[in-house]
Amino acid sequence: MTMPASGYVVVTGGAGFIGCNLVDRLAAAGHQVILFDNLARAGAERNAAWLRQRHTANVSLLQADIRDRDAVKGAVAQAAAVFHLAGQVAVTTSLDDPRQDFSINLEGTLNLLEALRRSGRMTPMLFASTNKVYGDLADIELKRGSEGYFPESEAVRCRGVSEARPLSFCTPYGCSKGAADQYVLDYAHSFGLPTTVMRMSCIYGPHQMGNEDQGWVAHFLIRGLRGEPIAIFGDGDQVRDILYVEDAVDAYFAAWRRIAQVKGTAFNLGGGPENAVSLNRLIAHVEQLIGRSLSISFQDWRPGDQRYYVSDVSRARATLDLARPLSWREGVQRLLHWLQHAPESPVLAGARAEAAE
């Protein structure tokens, strides 16, 4: 591809779920965007095509891998900002192939940091990290109620898990993302790079091609609409805070605008206690929305799975001046509408493929 003039924005993993929503917002705001993606993930080609059709003049696709140092160096050479969302995203995949997980999540991130450091331009970089950096949280005493697990500690129950929580990496995925998280923060402290980290909880919304390993909110809806069974790993009473993707994009924009103030800082990014929901509770809500019961089976717990994780988002909301997030019920309704009506929906795309056979 022909690189645009200086001042463009690079989004690694830009054809992924969060990435394509971020690229869409950037391009709509008039930014020239390089969508840096290897298009390996299911649905990525469809997302990239959607973006290029909507923003013909503003979005350029660079099909490349974050492990390719030369491609990374060339992509960010004249960038005004980099949003780093490319990564291996599933705990299960990391257990199957730890070396690949390491090379994508940690070595790929280091490639990007070194390219930015050596450019000498002090280009801002915002990194998509994960709540898995806090480990399985087994030391948090829990009780089990009608709406799932909840902490005995009133402070944790009311506010969630804060950034003051000690890091505790477990599973190869937790190690690779956690180490990358720390490298991103350290490059601000050691080299002055304007970097920040978003430790994301469960983000959901349009363009999420959810599956059994990642993207569970969309996965439940997709399976429900297709009339397919759903496997729950654990008892279904595990609780997560979920955040609609537009609210996540707002947070990335806010951090970019304030990068001089927030460089070297990690933020929890999730729905907070008001958007905490158990898997069983969400399934019941999906059943109500689509008007039929879902076929559910329960499997063994998976390594590193947290029975309870809710983000304390007070730092992000105060520092980044974020509005209250969309309620989870409204967000799930919006995602359902997209899955039922958008041409890019995996539900409709699957139906078209079946009809063509």
Question: Which helix H or strand E contains 308, and what residues bound it?
Answer: strand 308-309
Smallest CA-to-CA distance from 64 within 41, 83, 39 is with: 39
Task: List the structure tokens of 324.
Answer: 């209250």
225 and 283 in contact (C-beta within 8 Å)?
A: no
Burial group, residue 277, by CB count within 10 angstroms (0-12, 13-18, 19+): buried
Return d(Cα 120, Cα 282) in angstroms, integer: 47
Q: What are phi and psi of 287, to 5 degrees?
A: -60, -40
Alpha-carbon distance of 27 to 25, in angstroms, equals: 6
Which residues are annotated as catalytic?
173
Q: In terms of Cα–Cα distance, which of 3, 9, 6 is closest to 33? A: 9
Q: Is 97 left (phi over 0), alpha (psi -120 to 50) or beta?
A: beta
CB 246 within 8 A of CB 22: no
Asked if residues 69 and 39 have their Cβ atoms less than 8 Å apart, the reply is no
Q: CA-to-CA distance for 324 and 275, rounded, in angstroms?
A: 11
Number of other CB atoms surrounding residue 136 within 10 Å: 18
Which residues, 6+ apart, have CB-to-CB distance to 20 below 8 Å?
A: 14, 47, 48, 50, 51, 207
- Count of residues in the chain: 357
**Helix, strand, or coil here: 209?**
coil
Q: For residues 157 and 309, is the Cβ–Cβ distance under 8 A?
A: no
